[in-house]
Amino acid sequence: MMLGRWLTQLIAVMGVANGCSSEPDRASGGHLADTPGPTAGAAGSTTSGSGTAGRGSSSGSGGGAAEAGASGGSAGAGGAEAVDGTASDSGRPDRTLQVDDASGPWIVDAPMYRPCAGNLATLGSANLRAGGATPPAFAAAYNADLNVLPGPGPMLLIFSGVNDETPASWIASFGALDATGGTSGVHFAGRHANVAFRLGAPKSILIAPTEAAFELKFSAPASDALIPVVAIELSGALASGCGSLAVSRARLLVPATAAAITFHQSTIGALMGPATEAYRGEAARAWPLELSGKANQTYAPGALSDAGNLQ
């Protein structure tokens, strides 16, 4: 009998112990420990701009919300749509969404370009150096004279209509630069040529090979010379506000008829060597003069006002 009562009490105690172990584990203070946080507690839902969707509050992992945010394609980055990679922001257009695996989505702003004063870019060629296909002896002489030439350079470049979207207004003017005006600014010395250019985005400039008759003006303490040009080709990009033009290549043709012109204590013909370029369908009628660098803004008020100085 005593053994039977003892077994009965043992069975009862074991039943109570099993019942207690079926309750959830509780940490001190009465809070549930190590249980996943509710998905509603994720820091960034599909409308959040923080880009941290799916991170649970406190110690919760919130993993379910993170997966939902990623597959939904609209979490973070101010509501950016992942399906097309663009972000909507009416205040700052042309923004793009990029994804970095290490740091999550981030936004890159397209360059913002200021309009050019007077709808013009007025530039000097003092920092456009000869090179490329230019005969080496002439390139060295040209650059040496450029180093000591006063003023903004031997050539004035003016691009009109740079704020417009109408191709008919995109006109480039080239000619010898006269810097004798002092504080009144520079202007064209003699004739200048007008040619059409193409304006791309962002503010790229392209001129296809085009006949254009103008000159480059050198003066003391450099050589005192006018170098004739009969054609031009150019590619580059304008800076914001037209403060400069980064010229990847400007290819000018100097006619073989300029061979006897004195330049850098020699002659153009002696420095250039045999003519190599065709001009107007005839072979060996010109030399290439290739320039590159940065043409910087120069003050040239009224430079285009003399309609008689056109090609």
| The pLDDT of residue 222 is above 50 | yes
DSSP per-residue letters across 131-178: ETTS-HHHHHHHHHHHHH--SS-SEEEEEE-TT-S-GGG-EEEEEEEE
Proportion of the chain above pLDDT 70, given as a percent = 62
Q: Is the pLDDT of residue 157 over 50?
A: yes
Return the structure tokens found at 285: 């009628």
33 or 13: which leads in pLDDT:
13
Residue 210 in this model has a pLDDT that exceeds 80: yes
DSSP string, the chain: -HHHHHHHHHHHHHHHHHHHHTSPPB-TTS-B-S-PPPGGG-S--TT-SSS-TTPPSTT---HHHHHHHHHHT--STTT-BTTTTB---TTS-SEEEEEETTTEEEEEEPPPPPPPGGGEEEEE-TTEEEETTS-HHHHHHHHHHHHH--SS-SEEEEEE-TT-S-GGG-EEEEEEEE-TTGGG--EEEEEEEEEE-EE-TTSEEEEEEEEEEEEEEE-TTS--EEEEEEEEEEEEEEPGGGSEEEEEEEEEEEEGGGTT-EETTEEHHHHH-S--EEETTEEEEEEEEEEEEEEEE---TTTT--TTSB-
pLDDT 10s digits, 63-97: 444 444 444 444 444 444 434 433 333 333 333 43
C-alpha dihedral (57, 62, 66, 68), degrees to nearest 10: -120
> Residue 120 — pLDDT band, cuts 50, 70, 90?
very high
Q: Which of 150, 147, 169 is nearest to 159 (CA)?
A: 169
**Does pLDDT of 214 surpass 90?**
yes
Average pLDDT, the chain: 77
Mean pLDDT for the stretch of residues 40-51: 42
Short-list 29, 60, 26, CA closest to 42: 60
Q: Please report the pLDDT score of residue 105 as a whole number.
A: 44
Residue 271's pLDDT is what? 98
pLDDT of residue 131: 98
**Is the Cβ–Cβ distance between 73 and 82 less than 8 Å?**
yes
Q: Parse the chain into domains and list their residue ranges.
A: 119-297
pLDDT of residue 137 exceeding 70, the answer is yes
Q: When comparing pLDDT for 6 and 128, which is higher? A: 128
Distance CA 184, CA 157 (A): 17
Pick 58 or 297 by higher pLDDT. 297
Q: Which pLDDT score is estimated for 2?
A: 54
More reliable by pLDDT, 126 or 309:
126
Q: Is the confidence at residue 206, as pLDDT, over 80? A: yes
pTM of structure: 0.65
Higher pLDDT, 255 or 58: 255
Segment 265-294, tens digit of pLDDT: 999 999 999 999 999 999 999 999 999 999
Q: Evaluate if residue 126 carries a pLDDT over 60.
A: yes
Q: What is the pLDDT of residue 13?
A: 53
Residue 218 has pLDDT above 80, yes or no: yes
pLDDT tens across 88-103, in order?
333 333 334 344 444 4
How far, CA to CA in Å, does 22 sit from each of 11, 162, 212, 290? 17, 78, 94, 87
Structure tokens at 202: 């962002």
Residue percentage of the chain with pLDDT more than 90: 58
